[in-house]
Structure 1
């Protein structure tokens, strides 16, 4: 299995999302270990304990650094507020890192990262020829991009937020991404599907979108 590894020199310039992250361990100290444990629990909440355990085991049995959104309540509050303040044609949306796991290696760092944001792609745009080639419709409300140009997978899920302006559901759908260093397609879709279903539930989407477990058409 080919692993995508970021050179150590590039990692210093990586900018994480606007969301406050917690947890980073160098393996020293009970306090840091506790922080990593809490962050890992958040990652498991969004990505599934067994899914994440299998993904981690397939990458490395060595050291890992885990960071995650401070709390599900904070993430949902930020996303809900953005939806409520959304206006048609708006193209600026924050991207939130829900979970990030770094695996230090001899030639760099391997990374699993799960992200969420409101997309600039509308549902109408997905019917255009340039998007039809890369985006596949799974049901009447869920679209998947199996290959993002890197090692990862992306979902678009229209999610109506209570109190948001008319059109938000279709013109600013929820976008969910999982990037990794070369997991199998089955592992990747399990992480992404679980992430999507968890957030759809937490956001209490008014249209009640059904995210299937199987994302690869």
Structure 2
């Protein structure tokens, strides 16, 4: 009888401990979830909250559904690892999606704004070649922009040396950012792109201190 009572007591204590642990674990996960930034908040970090708000409002749709899988620091870390492993002759042009905004459109579907980044297949020296000079405009010694007239897309190239990478990387493997949208005004597109570029340049701590101005097209 005593043994049965003792066994029951042990089982009761075990169940109670398990419930306490589950409860604590659940609270911990809930806390983590509540402290994690939303996709829209991450897009704001990349592109600027005011820029995002104006872009979404100008599309005249519903609330935007934002997708952003990596924080700026995490994306910069991935780009840094690639640059550190690079050597002349390597091809590292994997595109990363920083932010995607899907804005409901009248009649179904969605207007989409996308921000992508990758190490470019182009080089700083190639910007002076006739076939690239026709479409790419030099903003300053380290920054070039390609508006792609008539298309809802704009690209930016910036010489960004990564500390710890090969010395040739800054000129031979520049950083390329792209904004694609459903047809924003040029001023809005360049505001998104220039903010996006400055965010990553800061996170990467680019050597040479490249300056990305707010106004890319004059």
Shorter-chain TM range is: 0.7 to 0.9
Q: Residue 161 of structure 1: CA displacement?
A: 0.2
Richer in helix (by share): 2
Mapped partners of 1:52, 1:122: distance in 2: 30
Partner of 2:30: none
Partner of 1:147: 148
Structure 1 stretches (4+) deviating beyond 4 angstroms?
34-37
Mapped partners of 1:139, 1:203: distance in 2: 19
Tell me which of the two structures has the higher relative contact order, counting C-alpha pairs closer than 8 angstroms and 6 or more residues apart.
1
Q: Which runs of 5+ in 2 are unaligned?
A: 1-33
TM-score, with structure 1 as normaliser: 0.80
Q: Which runs of 5+ in 1 are unaligned?
A: 1-33
Q: Residue 37 of structure 1: CA displacement?
A: 6.6
Bigger Rg, structure 1 or 2: 2
Q: Residue 107 of structure 1: CA displacement?
A: 5.2
TM-score, with structure 2 as normaliser: 0.79
Contact 1:69 1:75 in 2 (8 A): no
Q: Residue 93 of structure 1: CA displacement?
A: 1.7
Mapped partners of 2:62, 2:113: distance in 1: 15
Partner of 2:178: 177
Q: Residue 211 of structure 1: CA displacement?
A: 0.5
The answer to whether structure 1 residue 84 and structure 2 residue 77 are counterparts is no
Contact 2:61 2:104 in 1 (8 A): no
Q: Residue 148 of structure 1: CA displacement?
A: 6.7
1:27-176 residue pairs with structure 2 within 5 A?
38-105=38-105, 106=107, 108-147=109-148, 150-176=151-177
The Cα RMSD (Å) is 2.0
